[in-house]
Each structure stands twice: as structure tokens, then as C-alpha cells.
A and B are shown apart, each in its own frame.
Chain A
């Protein structure tokens, strides 16, 4: 008599636990996860053993629908594993293989137990495939989501870090501020600017805030302090890139920067050139030159 596939799988997992786990460990050992040195074998085995136990419990009354309620805690455990893989920099293949490499040992065990009964063998194998494939895909979904999060966070951090001081001309510096300013890094930004003013013997520093999404009182205070400190070092400060919505907001806040401000960095640069006695002229092209 043939049995229901989930039942076949459940019995096999219970009766052949030791052999299946051993084969699964062996397969994990050969995978690249361990070779990459990102995880220790003991940890990998602990995870495998926990997942195995939860799969067995889920099968007890959950059938083959791995999206169902009985599989919730197993899916959550796999999600946790996937997330930590994403953060630790595992490849997608390594991550997916954690679940997929359980297939071969399970198929072998079902074959060994029911090799002579084609219908039962097929039912058990089909159930195992269905469940493990679904769980493998779930693992990948979580992994990809987490990767996106990691990348998003890195982007934010880079935005906060990337505040170089740019030398536009002899004695003219620009500080294009990008991203959030209200972190400990603001201090670093200010120090960088003051150091550059000293190194370059700058006369004018242009602080460009085109890339700053919000100017609240804390950001304004940082700007005021930077301007005051630059003045003490003998440099004049211009602020550029105050967008209309930021200008209106600053008026309502009641913040006054009391500095020369220009709409764009280009405008501020032109003014800086003028103020340091320079002029930019369009070259006259002679009649023959144009020909």
C-alpha cells in the first residue's frame, strides 16, 4: 500500500535521522561556505540540526505546504540564518545550498526504505522536493532582501562620510556637504575644512549645502560654528546651494546665517574669483581663427 508523501518523509526523517544528518554535514563540509572561513563547522552543524528538528516537527501536522502555519517557526529560523549570511557576505549560492544540500541525503534515505515500492518512493520524493524547494526559495528571498538592506545602509554611511574639501583655485576652497549632518562626523568635516584653510592659505571657503536634505537648528548651528571658525582662521565663508524650500524653512525657524549666500556653487565661485581680483572672460576668437 502506498502512503501519503508527507507521512513517508516524516517517517524517514525520524527513522534515519543520524544517517541523513551525517550525509548533510558531509555535503555542507564540502560546500564553499566553510572554505570561505566565514563560518565554523560547529556552527553550521548546529544550524543544520536545529533546522532538521523543526522540519520534522512541521511535518508532523503541516503536510507539504511549506508556506503554511505549521512551518512558521522553521521559516523564521531559516530567515534568521539567511539574514546573518547576508550580513556576513556569503554568496547567494552558498546560502541556497544550505537547504538544497539536504535533498540528496533525504532522497537516498527514502530510496533505501522504499526502493521496492515505486508509488511510495515517488510520493515521498515528491513531498521532499516540494517542501525543500519552497524552503530554499524562501531562504533566497530573505537573503536578497537583507542584501538590499545592507547595501542601502552602506550607501547612507558613504553619504555621511563623503565630505571632501575641494580646492577650486588658488586660495579658494569648496566644501560640498552631502547627506545627514547631525552626526559625530560633523566635527570631522569642520576640522577638515579648517585644516585645509591653513594648508592652502585659503582666502575663501564655499560651503555648498545642495546635498543636505534638511537644515534644522542643529545643522544651522554647525554651519554657524564652521563659518565663525573659518573667519578666525582668516578666511571668508560663502554658503551656496540653499534651495528655495530650505530657505523658507530657515526663515520660519528663525535661523540667520549672516553670510554671503549664492544659489549655486558656480555663482559662489564666480563671486570668489571676483573678490580675489580675478576675472573670467570668454576668449575672443579672431576672424581668421574662426575661418
Chain B
């Protein structure tokens, strides 16, 4: 089925305040496509994890938010991108409790479990892009 995006916007991730704003914006868009409270909270939390990773490990970046439509279904797709050092071993990074920065090491795995779609690509030395989506 073809997926078309109806609304696109980009938000910067340069500071902790930006992470708060990303959460607020994702919450508003999740409400707009009619996600229930539980799904909103899950997706906002996933967004928070990826925004903070982009800030903490990627040296900052941005997120593109799209409202997407496939047939009758609406969804929200977020693409987090940074031009940081990238991730050499994605499998290791995705492993629960693995952290290189004194975190809980649950952000990436958690974001995947909290989303319907999860895709990560990273080039060492060039940056990281993580895409997640949640469908109504």
C-alpha cells in the first residue's frame, strides 16, 4: 500500500529545552491523528529517547515529523537525524542495558518496543538516522 505524508515539519534538537519541545509537539501531533492516551504516551516516550540520544551522542540534530496516511489508516512518522560520530556496532547499541554514556541503556530498545515501526541506520563518522512510526 502506498503511504503518503500529509503534513511535514522539522524541529531542531540542540538543547534539553528542545527535547522538551519535541515531546510537546509529538504529543500534539499524536492527538491530532487520534491516538489514545496510552499510545500517545508510548510514542512521546520513544521520541524523547531518540531526541536525547541525538543530543547526547550525536552532538545535536533534528527531527522530521510527518503525518502519514496509508489507505484509511493514519500514522505519525518521526525521523531523527544527527551528524555525530555514528554507531559502529548497531546490534550492541540495541542491546538492552548496553550504554556507553552511563545511562540505563534502554533508550534504543525501548523506542523500538514503543513503536510500530523502527529503523536505524548509521555510518561511523557521518551520523545516525532513526525512523519510528506509530499507526492509529
Contacts and interface: CB of A to CB of B under 8 A. Distances in A.
Interface of A: 180, 182-183, 213-218, 220-221, 244-246, 248-249, 252-255
Q: Is the interface of B mostly helix, strand, loop or mixed?
A: helix
Contact of A253 (B16, B20, B110): B110
Contacts of B103: 217-218, 221
A205 B110 CA distance: 29
B41 A216 contact: no
A142 B12 CA distance: 25
Interface in B27-59: 27, 37-38, 40-42, 44-45, 48-49, 52
A213 B40 CA distance: 11
A248 B38 contact: yes
B16 A183 contact: yes
Contacts of A183: 16
A245 B114 contact: no
B132 interface: no
5 contacts: A214-B44, A216-B45, A216-B48, A244-B38, A249-B45
A252 B110 contact: yes
B88 to A, nearest CB: 22
Contact of A252 (B19, B48, B107, B113): B113
B118 to A, nearest CB: 12
Given A214-B48, A245-B37, A249-B42, A255 B106 contact: yes
B96 interface: yes
Contacts of B114: 249, 252-253
Given A220-B104, A221-B103, A253-B114, A182 B45 contact: no
Interface residues of B, number: 24
Contacts of B37: 245
B134 interface: no
B38 A254 contact: no
Contact of B23 (A214, A244, A246): A214
B52 A218 contact: yes
B74 to A, nearest CB: 20
A214 B41 contact: yes
Contact of B113 (A213, A245, A254): A254
A254 B45 CA distance: 12
B49 A216 contact: yes
Given A214-B44, A255-B106, 9 more contacts: A213-B27, A216-B48, A220-B104, A221-B103, A245-B37, A248-B42, A249-B114, A254-B109, A254-B113
